[in-house]
Chains A and B, each alone.
Chain A
Amino acid sequence: MDILNALVTFLNFVVVPATAYGAQLALGALGATLVYGILRFSNFAQGDTMAFGTMITILMTWWLQSLGVSFGPLPTALLALPVGIAVTALFLLMTDRVVYRFYRAQRAAPTILVIVSLGVMFVMNGLTRIIIGAEEQNFADGARFLITAGEFKTWSGLDEGLAIRASQAITVVTAIIVVAWLFWFLNKTRTGKSMRAFSDNEDLALLSGINPDHVVRITWIIVAALATIAGVLYGLDKSFKPFTYFQLLLPIFAAAVVGGLGNPLGAIAGGFVVAYSEVLVTYAWKKVLGYLLPADLAPDSLVQLLSTDYKLAVSFIILIIVLLFMPTGLFKGKSG
């Protein structure tokens, strides 16, 4: 019984939250890795693109709520999501037109584009704060739980409960659908294949008659969709705060680098590696160990390796280890 209780505690406090967080990071990292693979630079504005897309979705959600529209047990934000994606896509296309295209025409070095994206990041960052403010916003509605801890306890007869929040279930389901669609698109459609060809060998892609402007446009639209979806899922699961989204840049890049920059499969694996590492290191193991160890060995302290305030350090450490020992990542990326 103790082992089952330990397992349920572990599932409840580690596996469920880390899986949802991993799915959110994976979607964010997919966006970063697509930009790296196809446009050939690390997009520092990725976190703020997520913030921007989420902001538009929140504004749309509030408007829908004021009209009395609801999506039943699902959050209204899911109805507002397409608008958020569309506006973000337009914004990114416009940014490309006035900023990135200029540097692309000059065949600017990737390091220059990184700094350019830093500038774009500051602009988006400011824009988001001007429009919605720097404070925290909650926009989740609909059902709160798929399974509550209490329901689980009565059903299983265990001391420990397993709660799955609706936002966590929605995150995982949405992430699976989005990733499946993205892989279908990249591997089966003509446009998707041309994007992979462009990422693989730009000169040969041009020789084959692939239109670079079209590839760049489609890439930004997909990046807008991935960033907005990732941002909205993160906001539903936790809350929306522009600064937090800016900070997500680090775990997102850690995820993309772990998996191998430019490799979509790697971005997904990397998202879960980073999420699980973060949660495992910052989780207080006292309860789980208390069930597993004999009473006299049970720990007095919280057995928390790192305070949650330092969770960003985990991404830094992962990033450094990967760059030192396997710079191309788990799935042969283009960096290194």
Chain B
Amino acid sequence: MGQPFLIGDQMTGGYGAADILHGCTIAVEKGEIAVIVGPNGAGKSTAMKAVFGMLKLRGGSVRLDGEDITTLSPQDRVAKGMGFVPQTSNIFTSMTVQENLEMGAFLRRDNIKDTMAQVYDLFPILKEKRNQPAGELSGGQRQQVAVGRALMTKPKVLMLDEPTAGVSPIVMDELFDRIIEVARSGISILMVEQNARQALEIADKGYVLVQGANRFTDTGRALMEDPEVRRSFLGG
């Protein structure tokens, strides 16, 4: 199989003196969905931020398409084809939906019309509300704006930090459907999720983290069927 498309390999590091990640490895293949789950405080979001360069690593490396990007800043990683949707404050609330998408494409100098049309196809409600300030939208719609903004750079990898936090179960299902659609278009998805069960259902690969280290790594389906994972992390 060779190298995964994006891999955070044996990552060790934290925000201050104490390490949060201890030799943690996260990888995603082209066009697949990888999900990071685990209990609170397991370092899920930290692992994702480390892959995106928002955290200084003391050990390990991050490689994108075989290229070592460990020392690149998050902005440079965006230019390399990584899109990131933070968990909170992930939209420009005072700007319209369309302006949010335009800002997502800020680095691009070519015509963004087609990409914008694709985002509107993916999230039709955004087209309807394109001239409304994004801050006036509902929680689920805001998440769509956030994902849409990240898609505007035409990323090769889309990283989502708890995209379904605070949205209703129906909206969550809908968002997951859209995420599968994005993955089918060839974009790799790396996602941290609180709703472990639903997330593993759509995952090609799942990572269960505990205290900043890999505890279980397998396909989403296999993790769902693993009795120990079920007992410890999925509530039976």
| Complex Cα–Cα for A204 and B106 (A) | 12
Query: In the complex the two chains form, is A197's CB within 8 Å of B86's CB?
Result: no
CB distance from A215 to the nearest CB of B (A): 11
From B86, B102, B103, give the contact of A203 (CB < 8 A): B86
Chain A residues contacting B149 (CB-CB under 8 Å) are 204, 208
* A161-207 with Cβ < 8 A to chain B: 190, 193-194, 196-197, 199-201, 203-207
Query: In the complex the two chains form, is A209's CB within 8 Å of B92's CB?
Result: no
Chain B residues contacting A204 (CB-CB under 8 Å) are 86, 89-92, 149
Query: In the complex the two chains form, is A194's CB within 8 Å of B92's CB?
Result: no
From A190, A197, A207, give the contact of B78 (CB < 8 A): A207
Interface membership of B84, Cβ < 8 A: yes
Interface membership of B79, Cβ < 8 A: yes
Query: In the complex the two chains form, is A206's CB within 8 Å of B103's CB?
Result: no
Interface membership of B229, Cβ < 8 A: no
Interface membership of A322, Cβ < 8 A: no
Query: In the complex the two chains form, is A209's CB within 8 Å of B86's CB?
Result: no
Chain A residues contacting B93 (CB-CB under 8 Å) are 200-201
CB distance from B193 to the nearest CB of A (A): 20
A interface footprint on B56-77 (CB within 8 Å = 1, 0 otherwise):
0000000000000000001100
Query: In the complex the two chains form, is A205's CB within 8 Å of B86's CB?
Result: no
Query: In the complex the two chains form, is A197's CB within 8 Å of B75's CB?
Result: no
Query: In the complex the two chains form, is B75's CB within 8 Å of A203's CB?
Result: no
Chain A residues contacting B74 (CB-CB under 8 Å) are 206-207
Chain A residues contacting B102 (CB-CB under 8 Å) are 190, 193
| Complex Cα–Cα for A80 and B153 (A) | 44
Query: In the complex the two chains form, is A200's CB within 8 Å of B78's CB?
Result: no
Interface membership of A216, Cβ < 8 A: no
Chain A residues contacting B92 (CB-CB under 8 Å) are 196-197, 200-201, 204-205
* B147-168 with Cβ < 8 A to chain A: 149, 153
Query: In the complex the two chains form, is A197's CB within 8 Å of B89's CB?
Result: no
CB distance from A289 to the nearest CB of B (A): 45
Query: Which residue of chain A has its CB nearest to the CB of B92?
Result: A200
CB distance from A123 to the nearest CB of B (A): 34
Interface membership of B94, Cβ < 8 A: yes
CB distance from B154 to the nearest CB of A (A): 13
From B79, B89, B90, B95, give the contact of A209 (CB < 8 A): B79
Query: In the complex the two chains form, is B94's CB within 8 Å of A200's CB?
Result: yes
Query: In the complex the two chains form, is B75's CB within 8 Å of A205's CB?
Result: no
Query: In the complex the two chains form, is B103's CB within 8 Å of A193's CB?
Result: yes
Interface membership of A116, Cβ < 8 A: no
From B103, B107, B153, give the contact of A197 (CB < 8 A): B103
Interface membership of A218, Cβ < 8 A: no
**Would A193 and B95 be within 8 Å (CB), given that A207-B75, A208-B149 are in contact?**
yes
Query: In the complex the two chains form, is B106's CB within 8 Å of A208's CB?
Result: yes
Query: Which residue of chain A has its CB nearest to the CB of B89?
Result: A201
Interface membership of A210, Cβ < 8 A: yes
**Would A208 and B104 be within 8 Å (CB), given that A196-B94, A200-B92 are in contact?**
yes
**A197, A201, A204: which has the most chain B beta carbons within 10 Å?**
A204
9 intermolecular pairs with C-beta atoms under 8 Å apart: A190-B102, A194-B103, A197-B95, A200-B93, A205-B92, A207-B75, A208-B149, A209-B75, A209-B107
Residues of B within 8 A of A (CB): 74-75, 78-79, 84, 86, 89-95, 99, 102-104, 106-107, 149, 153
11 further A-B pairs in the complex, CB-CB below 8 A; given A193-B99, A208-B106: A197-B99, A200-B95, A201-B89, A204-B89, A205-B92, A207-B75, A207-B78, A208-B103, A208-B149, A209-B153, A210-B106
